[in-house]
Structures are given as structure tokens and as C-alpha cells.
């Protein structure tokens, strides 16, 4: 029982971390960044490079975030910027970009599965259950990241202008806010967070050119369901991630694998706003 509760919590935490970058981009720009999977992959390989450079495994996380941030900035300038008025085309262009990044990673690092040392090993006892320490740390990490992003959005001037752009872009522009700059910053931060997430899941996953892809559709659905709100995202990952764990446990893991996408599709049909709280 304890183990199952922990399964739900840690799964939700992992999903939350993976979705965060995608949600920031979607929330501000109403653009679905299909290159999200590629940025997760970039994060995994950043962790690999960090390990090869002999960096402390904990330092791999900020390193990956930085790499993602820089690449994201580049991508925004070159590819995403011309597509703000064409959201469907933005989906396609970022999808194509994902293909390109995947192939470049393959050419650069080879297709084989690589390994990155985990910053922590082993298990701990929690209320009678033996549980993976790293997974528990992920819950903490998700909480901290969520709080940090929330603080960034509500406590800083950057957050203020960003929220203004989310609510009413033309009004915000009328007030002298440079919405192009806000979008640029948001896309870069989103890509950085995606890359950070990619590094954060490496201890539980392999590092290979397609490592991000299995996460993409689930993350995409979770973000669609939660709209632009962080609290909704937390709720959605907890509800749908929890459903995935329980269905995997009591029905079959194969059905569990479809849980998030199918549930999200149904929720969006019944309630186009999804789980958005406001």
C-alpha cells in the first residue's frame, strides 16, 4: 500500500518535471513544441557529456538546463518566431526539428544506448516499504521546480509581463510590453526546463537518440488538459499519472500505457477547458 502511494507520487513527479517546459511554451505562446522530445534527449546527452567531462553528477542537471536554454534560444530565433501566427505549422516545424535533432544526435553520438552515472544509488525505508531513493528525490525535485517556476511567474517582473501576455497580448503590447521578447524568453526557458528534465530522468532511463519520444505524447496530452496553470498541471499529473499506476497494477500495464492519452482525450471532449482550474 505504502509502495503504491509512493509509486503514484513519484510517477506524478516524474511526469510533472517532464511536462513543465512544454507547458510554459504552450501557456504563453499557444504553441505546441513538438521538439520537446528532442530537448529531453539533448538533456540526456548533456548529462552524458557532463559525466565524460568528469563533472559531479549533480552538476549535470544545471549543465543540461543551460545547454537546453542556449539551443532553445537559437531555435526560437530561427524557426519558431516566423510561426507565431500559424500554430498548426508550428507543431509541424517543431516536429521536423525533432527529427533533425534526433538524426544529428545519432550521427554525433551513435545510436547505441549510453549510460550516465546516477547521483545517488540505493534504497531507503519509508513506512515499511523499501523504496528507490532517487525516485523519492524526484518528488522533492518536482516540488522545488514547481515552486521555483511559480515564484518566477508571480514574484518577478518577468513573471508579471509574461502573465500579461498570457492574458491579453494586444493589450500588453499596448502597455509597451515587448511580447516578442517575452516569447523568446519563454521558449528558451521551456527548452532549458525540458533539457533539465531529460537529465533528471537519465538515472531511471537509458540515454539514446529516441529517449524523449515515449514521453512526448503523454506530456503533450497532460499539458493540453491542464492549460496554462501550474496547479492544474500538478493536479493532472497526479490524477492521470495515478490512474496509469493503478490501471497498470490492477488491470494490465499495456492498458496502463494508454491510460494518460485516452483519459486526456476523453476529458478534453467532455470539458474543452480540461482540468484548468480557472
Partner 1 sequence: MTEPLPAREAPADPALRRAALLFAATLAAVAAGPFVLDAYTVNILIRALLYAVVALTVDVLWGYTGILTFGQSAFFGIGAYAAGLAFTHLGFSPGVAVLALVGGIAAAGLVGALVGWLAFGYGVTPIYVSVITLVLPIVVTQLLFSGGTFTGSSSGLSGFDTLDISIEAWFWLAGGACATLTFLAWIALRSDAGRLLVAIRENEGRCQYLGIDTARLKIGLMALSAAVAAVAGYLYAGFTDVIAPELAGFVFGTQIVIWVALGGRGTLIGPVVGAVVIEVVSAYLSGELPYVWNLVIGAVFVLVIVAAPGGAAAMVRRLWIWTGRGRARAGPGPAIEVVPAAGGGPLPDEALALEDVSRRFGSLAVLQGVSFRVRPGELLSLVGPNGAGKTTLMRCIADGTERSGGGVRIGGHAVGRGPPAECVAYGLGRKFQTANVFDGLTVAESLRVARARRETPSLWRRSATLRLPAAAARVVAATGLDERLADEVVHLSHGLKQALELAMVLALEPRVVLLDEPTAGLTKPERTLIGTILTDLVASERLCVVLVEHDLDFVRQISSRIIVLHQGRVALDGSVAEVVGSELVRSIYAGEPQALAEA
Partner 2 sequence: MTRITTRLGLLLGVLLLGTAGARAQETIRIGIPVGLSGANSVVAPSVVQSAELAVEEINARGGVLGHKLALEVADDGSGAAGAQKAFDSLVFQKKVNALISMETSAARNAGLPIVARAKVPYIYTSFYEGRSCSPYMYVDAWVPDQQVAPIVDYFMKEKGAKTFFLIGSDYAFGRGMLDFTREYIKKTGGRVLGEEYQPMDASDWTAVISKVRSAAPDAIITSTAGGAPNVTLTKQMRAAGLRSLYGNLAVDEGTAKSMGADGDGIFISASYITGIDSPANKTFLAAMQKKFGSDLKTPNDLSVPQYEAVYLYKAAVEKAGSTKPDAVLKALPEVAFDGPRGRIQMSKQHHTPLTMYLGQVQADGSVKVLKSFKDVDPGDQCPKLP
Q: Which residues bind partner 1 (CB under 8 A)?
A: 32, 79, 82-83, 86-89, 91-93, 95-97, 99-100, 103-104, 106-107, 217, 220-221, 224, 254, 257-258, 261-262, 265, 268-269, 272
123 binds, among partner 1, partner 2, none (CB under 5 to 8 A by kind): partner 2
- Smallest gap from Cβ 123 to partner 2, in A, equals 4
DSSP symbol at 156: S
Distance of CA 256 to the CA centre of its chain: 20
114 pairs with which residues across the strands? 207
User: Which of 92, 112, 140, 160 touches partner 2 by CB under 8 A?
Assistant: 112
Please give the Cα distance from 171 to 167 (Å, whole number): 9
Query: Which one of 31-39, 49-57, 66-74, 116-124 is the stretch in contact with partner 2 (CB under 8 A)?
Result: 116-124
113 binds, among partner 1, partner 2, none (CB under 5 to 8 A by kind): partner 2
Contact at 8 Å (CB) between 195 and 65? yes
Torsion on CA atoms 54, 56, 57, 61, rounded to nearest 10: -110
- Does 123 participate in binding partner 2 (rule CB under 8 A)? yes
Closest CB to partner 1 among residues 128, 272 = 272
Closest CB to partner 2 among residues 136, 149 = 136
7 binds, among partner 1, partner 2, none (CB under 5 to 8 A by kind): partner 2
CA distance between the termini of the chain:
33
Residues 190-225 as b/e (b if ≥16 CB within 10 A, e otherwise) read: bbbbbbbbbbbbbbebebbbebbeebbebbbbbbbb
In which element (H, E) is residue 126 found? Answer: strand 123-126
Contact at 8 Å (CB) between 59 and 50? yes
134 binds, among partner 2, partner 1, none (CB under 5 to 8 A by kind): partner 2
Where along the sequence are the contacts to partner 2 (CB under 8 A)? Answer: 3-4, 7, 10-11, 14, 106, 110-115, 117-118, 121-123, 130-135, 203-206, 208, 210-211, 213-215, 244-245, 248-249, 252-254, 256-258
Amino acid at each position: 500500500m505504502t509502495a503504491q502511494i509512493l509509486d503514484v507520487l513519484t510517477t506524478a513527479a516524474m511526469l510533472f518535471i517532464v511536462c513543465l517546459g512544454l507547458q510554459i511554451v504552450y501557456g504563453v505562446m499557444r504553441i505546441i513544441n513538438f521538439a520537446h522530445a528532442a530537448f529531453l534527449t539533448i538533456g540526456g546527452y548533456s548529462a552524458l557529456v557532463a559525466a565524460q567531462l568528469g563533472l559531479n553528477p549533480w552538476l549535470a542537471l544545471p549543465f543540461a538546463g543551460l545547454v537546453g536554454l542556449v539551443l532553445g534560444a537559437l531555435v526560437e530565433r530561427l524557426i519558431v518566431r516566423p510561426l507565431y501566427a500559424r500554430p498548426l505549422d508550428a507543431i509541424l516545424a517543431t516536429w521536423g526539428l525533432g527529427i533533425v535533432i534526433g538524426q544529428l544526435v545519432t550521427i554525433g553520438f551513435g545510436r547505441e544506448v549510453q549510460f550516465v552515472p546516477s547521483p545517488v544509488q540505493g534504497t531507503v525505508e519509508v513506512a515499511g516499504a523499501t523504496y528507490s531513493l532517487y525516485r523519492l528525490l524526484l518528488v522533492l525535485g518536482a516540488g522545488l521546480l514547481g515552486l521555483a517556476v511559480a515564484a518566477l511567474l508571480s514574484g518577478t517582473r518577468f513573471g508579471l509581463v509574461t502573465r500579461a501576455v498570457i492574458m491579453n497580448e494586444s493589450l500588453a503590447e499596448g502597455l509597451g510590453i515587448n511580447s516578442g521578447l517575452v516569447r523568446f524568453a519563454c521558449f528558451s526557458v521551456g527548452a532549458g526546463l525540458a533539457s533539465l528534465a531529460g537529465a533528471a530522468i537519465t538515472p531511471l532511463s537509458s540515454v539514446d537518440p529516441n529517449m524523449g519520444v515515449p514521453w512526448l505524447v503523454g506530456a503533450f496530452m497532460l499539458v493540453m488538459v491542464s492549460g496554462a496553470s501550474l496547479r492544474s498541471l500538478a493536479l493532472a499529473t497526479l490524477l492521470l499519472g495515478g490512474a496509469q499506476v493503478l490501471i497498470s497494477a490492477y488491470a494490465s500495464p499495456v492498458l496502463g500505457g494508454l491510460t494518460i492519452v485516452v483519459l486526456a482525450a476523453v476529458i478534453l471532449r467532455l470539458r474543452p477547458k480540461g482540468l484548468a482550474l480557472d
